[in-house]
Each structure stands twice: as C-alpha cells, then as structure tokens.
Chain A
Amino acid sequence: MIKVNGIDIEADGTIFAGKSVAEYLSTTNYDCKRIAVERNGDIVPKAKYGETLLAEGDSLEVVSFVGGG
C-alpha cells in the first residue's frame, strides 16, 4: 500500500511502487509550482521528483498551497 495524504492510491489496482514522485504527480491535478511533497516525514527536494521512487509502505504528504495572506 502507498498512501498519499492518508489515502491508499493503489486501492483501484494501479501500482505506483517503483514509479517516481513525478510520475505519480502527473496522474493528479496538482500544480507542481504550488506544492511541497513529504515522503515518510522528509521533504522531497523539487529537483528530485523524477528520481525519487515510491516503494511499498510509503506515506506521502502533498501540501498544495492556496493564495491569500
């Protein structure tokens, strides 16, 4: 199981283990300029989305920012 923001993203049978963070994000509506991604509690550097591979048991947190302040 791989969780993003607490939800199992493989629940529908799609396998993300072995795919990169960038590949996962491309299946979503996230705007990459407005997000921060944490993997198992550590920030995934923006420059490493392509080379950071997801593994079974991973827990991702994608924080998407909205405007206002």
Chain B
Amino acid sequence: MSADCVQRAPTREEMLAALVVRQGEENVKKLQAATVAVCGLGGLGSNVAIALARAGVGRLVLVDFDCVDVTNLHRQQYKACQVGMPKAVALPENLREIAPYIELESHQVRVTEENVMELVGKADVVCEAFDNAEAKAMLVNAALENCKVLVAASGMAGFGDANSIQTRRVSKNFYLCGDGVSDVNAGIGLVAPRVMACAAHEAQTIVRLICGLEP
C-alpha cells in the first residue's frame, strides 16, 4: 500500500470497530478468520473481491492471467490509468486503498486442472468468477471433486432484468448465481449493473457461508 494511504487510513482497530457496529462482533471474527479464493478478476471477480474486502474477509487469494484492457473499464473495478497492468497486480493496489489491512495473495496465472488445488486448496470458500464457460466448468468440477465449498456464476450478460439474477444451492457444497441462460456469446453484451448484481449475489452467499448462515 502506498505510504500516503497508510498515513491517512484509520487504524486497523478503528476499522474493525466500525465493522462490528454494522455486522456484529461474532460475524466480524468469522470473516476476519476466513480465506476466500477468487478465480477470475474481471466483472465478477473484481466486484466480489471488493465486496468481501469491505465486509472484513481476512484473506483473499486472487487469480487471473490477464491484463486490464480498455474494454474492461466499463464494468470491472479498475482505473483508466491501470490499462495494461496485470489484473493480479492492479486489483491488489485498489483493494489496499479500500481495505489496507487485508491479507492478499495474488497469482498471475491461468487456472488449469493441474494447478487449481495448489491455488485454491487452502481457501475456506472458492469463488468462480471466470468469463469463459469451459473455464467455469473446469473449476467447478475440480473444486467439487476436491470437496471445496464453491460459489459460481452463470448467466449475467445482456440488458435483462436484474431480478432474474438469483442464487441457487445446487448441492451441499455448490451455490450458483445468475439467470443460468444469458450467454455473452449470444451477442447481447455485458452491462455493469447486471454483472455487479451477479457479483453481489456471489459475495453475499460467501459472506453468509463464512458466518454460518447457509445450511
């Protein structure tokens, strides 16, 4: 984090006390003790990571192979001055400005069947936040086959109603957010609020899992 940010930020204790006022001491303790792996740092992952950092999650593992592109700026949590930077470098910068005391582990790498458990193995919850359908399926299968708790997303493209974005518990360890059908490859585009609504569903499900509020 930049020196300027450290100087002007509230202390760790001040930030925790403020979180306790809003979220309760027990929940804040659980969130502080949790590790979440966010796979894909685009429209879903960058928004999920920021929501979790604000909510007080103690540690994030961030994974993305890509760099910030000008076409990302309309819906992803990057700044215009970060175009060209690896997302795995740019997002930690932004997160530390928001939540200076969060622990971050960042990997600029493509997630494969071979390296997936090395990357997400220690996380309490895995967040699937890729854009590619095959990558989504690969991560979901690998995580569930290794008994990880997983929150994934499918179907948030286009100008459709935000209310059609839902969270569904598919099975014991598998939560799925989105409308299930709106495919970006159908040429319907991606719109920031709808992608953010889906990211918010993922983040809220993760918070609820960590706080023991999901069955």
Measured CB to CB, the residues of A under 8 A from B are 33-36, 38, 41-43, 45-46, 61, 63-69
Contact of A67 among B170, B185, B195 (CB under 8 A): B185
Residues of B within 8 A of A69 (CB): 40, 42-45, 129-131, 136, 153, 156, 195
Contact A67 B137 (CB under 8 A): no
Residues of A within 8 A of B185 (CB): 66-67
DSSP class of A's interface residues: helix, strand, loop or mixed? mixed
Measured CB to CB, the residues of B under 8 A from A are 40, 42-45, 129-134, 136-137, 140-141, 144-145, 152-157, 170-172, 174, 176, 180-185, 190, 195
Contact A33 B134 (CB under 8 A): yes
Contact B195 A61 (CB under 8 A): no
| Given contact pairs A67-B133, A69-B40, a sample of 4 additional A-B residue pairs in the complex whose CB atoms are under 8 Å apart | A34-B133, A42-B171, A66-B181, A68-B156
**CA distance in complex: A45, B142 (Å):** 8
**CA distance in complex: A63, B143 (Å):** 15
Smallest Cβ distance from A25 to chain B, in angstroms?
A: 13
Contact of A63 among B129, B154, B183 (CB under 8 A): B154
Contact B133 A43 (CB under 8 A): no
Residue of A nearest to B172 (CB): A41
Smallest Cβ distance from A50 to chain B, in angstroms?
A: 15
Using A36-B144, A66-B181, A68-B157 as known contacts, say yes or no to A41 and B133 having CB atoms under 8 A apart. Answer: no
Residues of A within 8 A of B140 (CB): 36, 63, 65
Using A68-B157, A69-B129 as known contacts, say yes or no to A43 and B182 having CB atoms under 8 A apart. Answer: no
Residue of B nearest to A45 (CB): B145
**CA distance in complex: A67, B154 (Å):** 7
**CA distance in complex: A68, B180 (Å):** 11
